[in-house]
Structure 1
Amino acid sequence: MTEKPPPDPPAGEALPGEADPVTVPDGIPLLEARATAPPRERSEVLIVSGMSGAGRTRTAAVLQDLDWYVVDNLPPRLLAPMVGMMSPSGGVRRLAAVVDVRGKEFFAELSAVLEAFRAQGIEYRIVYLDADDATLVRRYEQVRRPHPLQGEGTIIDGIAAERDLTQDLRRRADTYLDTSTLTVHELAGRVREIVAGEDSHPLAITVQSFGFKYGIPLDADHVVDARFLANPYWVTELRHLTGKDAPVAEYVLGLPGAAEFIEGYAALLDPILAGYVAEQKHYLTVAVGCTGGKHRSVALSERLGVLLRARGHLVRNVHRDLGRE
């Protein structure tokens, strides 16, 4: 009897006694069977609470400047839906919720909500702002507003009631911040230290070119006049080009005094920018103007942007009047 040949092995398997088939050409490294997935950007949840008058409003403003999505006076039961709407890959990635006794009876729900977050593995941090009684009383007297828990009593009565209601939250806080002796600028600096990452930029600089004949930009903090340089408009080969084109940029920066001027101006800005950061100024616009905003101002503003970026600043270039002619 003739024996039947053995059945073909399943696709992808070698025959008995045969070596595994070569599936990758020589010289090409094999990828690991289990590639490591790129780390996902983690969502951040920050609960800001504490005593009324201790600086919650200022803290919320600083967080908003740092690109946090800030919700003020949010009822605690709405925290879970807000957190569920966050997306690490886009949209809202950093949520700061200001939750305090202004929520009245809703505030009592905060402890249960936070316990549910822990059980679900949702990470969050609590920042508790405080100040001594004398400071809180003085601040309320300055703004001439009643304490939210004052009722028919005094400001001190309201403060005492608030301390009693928030004592558990104070014990659970990841960060306790006493603002009694802090100025608004010092408070902003402390908040930045607490939440800002290493990649955050305290000052965003816009270098904007413009044409004087169209008016000086209204939001300019510094104005630079480039009209002391010869105008490329009168060079036939350059007239149709702009300051973003290499021939015009080389012509402008090659003019006597041009390169020295813009490099000196960048150096002049060094102590000014440091002072702005110390004073919690977050945005700065430097406007560079020429007659029409097409040649000299564009070339110099582009060069200024390069020099400021080399100094570690976050800079964007805007050419307001380019293309208007």
Structure 2
Amino acid sequence: MNTRFATSESPQPDGNAISDAPLVIVTGMSGAGRTTTANVLEDLGWLVVDNLPPQMLEPLAELRHSSLERRPEVAPRRVAVVVDVRSRGWFAHLQEAIDAATDRGERPSVLFLDATDEALVRRFESVRRPHPLQGRGRLLDGIQRERSLLLDLRSSADVVIDSSGLNVHQLAAKLTSIFAGDRKVQLRVAVMSFGFKYGLPLDADVVLDMRFLPNPYWVPELKSLNGQDEAVAEFVMRQAGAEEFLDRATDLLETMIEGYIREGRRYVTVAIGCTGGKHRSVATAEALSARIGQPEGVDTFIVHRDLGRE
């Protein structure tokens, strides 16, 4: 078990759900970004414990409480533990440990990292390491075995992040937006552009399809550009139905955002797709983000998942 102590002073808890939780469990698929998550939290001042056996959650919580009572000025206020299948048979006790903590009135928040089988295979092959559950079988066998084991845990997680189309820097930015903390922010909205040909984002709460608009890809002078370029954005927005779509999507999302805040949701992903994730979805994501990011208490940021893949 590796324990990494943050070098910066631990920040005070903020008012935003998982970022305000004194104890967060980081789990999910092997290769989906748990190490990056641990590094981001460590840089933000969290105490991070890697590969913790689930049975140690209660002693860790007791240690934190006693430290706060004895020396609150130096005690870690926010702790994250990485718990995954590397603990082998012990991992089966994770849900039991979470239930026990809930019964004590101190349920930890759960962050689940996920990715497609294709992305995970590619990552494992790039580092030339076997999957923890692979045994004598294929790499894909280990991945599918792990996914089956984590199915219930994923469905009950507080936050699920799909890292399939994100590089390390994009994932770090997304995590920072969740955990950095801002007392005035009630809801963080990720507006993500993507290409349908690369698959739906696994963590999308809302999916909007821009393929009803003409594709700038077939306009010679726009083909090499993307939706962040002014010429492409103007082309997309002047198409019949584009402005009307933006107006209606904005009204719909504003209504949903009000409901999310009432229900205690703190993180939502709005995915906007086109064929390749380069022109229409990017331009629309930029325009829509500017609109829904205006209400006080809503923090909106943009992720262009597939931009640059073509």
Question: Could you state the TM-score of these two structures normalised by the residue count of structure 2?
Answer: 0.50
Higher RCO structure, 1 or 2 (CA under 8 Å, sep 6+):
2
For the pair shown, the structure with the greater C-alpha radius of gyration is 1
Question: Could you state the TM-score of these two structures normalised by the residue count of structure 1?
Answer: 0.48
